[in-house]
Amino acid sequence: MSDISRREFLKGLAVGGTVGYFAMAGVSSTVMRNSFIPPAKVGAVDIGECKSLKIKVITETSWFNNALLMDDMKKAGGLLVNQYEIPWTNKGVTEGWKGDNAGGYATLVEVEFLDGSTKKILLDTGWNVDWTDTCFKREGIDKMLANGEIDCLFVSHEHFDHFWGIEATLKYRPDIPILVPKGFYQEGFDLLKGANFPKCHLANNVPHTGPLKVQESEKVHKLYPGVASITFDVPIITRVFGEQALVFNLKDKGLAIVTGCCHMGIISLMEHVKQTIKGGDNFYAIQGGLHISPFEDWDPQYDDLVLALHNYGLKTMGCNHCTGYVTAEKFVTIGLPVVKGTAQHKSKRDIFLGNGDMMII
């Protein structure tokens, strides 16, 4: 597991395991990036080209009440506690889904290739199965899954809000090919097979029957023409390890990155892509969770991050989820091209793309 073992990961987090770590993970991993990212040839890997992207935000509201979520983690012993050992209460939230705090993150990415053909990638599968299923039905994902129209489920990382709603996907297509990042724990594999975890109120009643691929770190995985993924050996709170992101090379535009949470840090990710993938000196777009102020706090060092992001010359930005509304306000103030949303389906503000919103690149 690269330079940092799980033991060192836990030891390191034990020193600074506070609420602040969750909020700062993106920055921390940026600072530590040299530990995780090996030296790479500058822009050497040719991933080909694709034509366009349609990105549909199925759900970006992973939970509805920050205080309740943090309280659950604190009561369980802090941010280092194994997510499968946390007795998430989830209940009693008026702004939540039927009083449940658990929501989830899931996005559909439709890629158009140069010959006009398309592929659909489901990026993550939510947390609350009922909420995720409702969002799937709203966007027609249920039918797309059942019809075999979705090529694969790309799980960005093992976090509860991105992966635990797996039953919502498998109930429509149990044999969907699944790609997970290196670092998945046995509990995650067991959940795919149909295990239940009563302590954290987690169940999957539809075992996965299709291909499952663990995407190794430290290499570029070419998925389709102009589409690749990269996995990072990154330690994440609640004992998750590893995250992968999608990279697209859009003809006549440049590179687009689509993320889940981006716990590896957006600057770390972009620098790695820049140094690894051909055309990495021309970023066009990013979309997804950027993990800067998920709990709406602000630390002056985040300003450096915002300034650094401005240097990449992005033409469009579709951030949401753990990016934080405070961060989005900073982006807009500095002139970054944040795409606005419509504040529908329980997304609270229109400052960035929310539930049901679409971005076309």
Which residues lie near Fe ion (CB under 5 A)?
A: 159, 161, 261, 322
Minimal distance, residue 122 CB to Fe ion, in Å: 16
Q: Which is nearer to Fe ion, 61 or 249 (CB)?
A: 61
Q: Which is nearer to Fe ion, 255 or 261 (CB)?
A: 261
Minimal distance, residue 261 CB to Fe ion, in Å: 3
CA pair distance 14, 164, nearest whole angstrom: 25
Residues 161/105, Cβ–Cβ less than 8 Å: yes
Minimal distance, residue 234 CB to Fe ion, in Å: 10
Q: Which is nearer to Fe ion, 180 or 322 (CB)?
A: 322
Residues 19/295, Cβ–Cβ less than 8 Å: yes
CA 109 to the chain's CA centroid: 13
Residues 168/133, Cβ–Cβ less than 8 Å: yes
Q: Which is nearer to Fe ion, 51 or 157 (CB)?
A: 157
Residues 288/281, Cβ–Cβ less than 8 Å: no
- How many Cα atoms are found within 13 Å in the side-chain-facing hemisphere of 223? 26
Name 42's Cβ contacts closer than 8 Å, sequence gap at least 6. 274, 275, 280
Q: Which is nearer to Fe ion, 238 or 249 (CB)?
A: 238
Phi and psi for 136 in degrees, rounded to 5? -60, -45
Pair of tokens at residue 5: 């073992």
Residues 103/127, Cβ–Cβ less than 8 Å: yes
Q: Which is nearer to Fe ion, 62 or 249 (CB)?
A: 62
Minimal distance, residue 295 CB to Fe ion, in Å: 12
Pair of tokens at residue 312: 């990449």
CA pair distance 101, 336, nearest whole angstrom: 31
Minimal distance, residue 241 CB to Fe ion, in Å: 12
CA pair distance 202, 130, nearest whole angstrom: 12
The residue among 258, 234, 263, 227 whose CA lies nearest residue 245 is: 258
Minimal distance, residue 330 CB to Fe ion, in Å: 20
Minimal distance, residue 102 CB to Fe ion, in Å: 12
Q: Which is nearer to Fe ion, 22 or 113 (CB)?
A: 22
User: What is the number of other CB atoms lying within 10 angstroms of the CB of residue 3?
Assistant: 12
Q: Which is nearer to Fe ion, 25 or 270 (CB)?
A: 25
Taking CB atoms, the residue at the shortest distance from Fe ion is: 261
Name 154's Cβ contacts closer than 8 Å, sequence gap at least 6. 121, 122, 123, 124, 179, 229, 244, 246
Minimal distance, residue 326 CB to Fe ion, in Å: 17
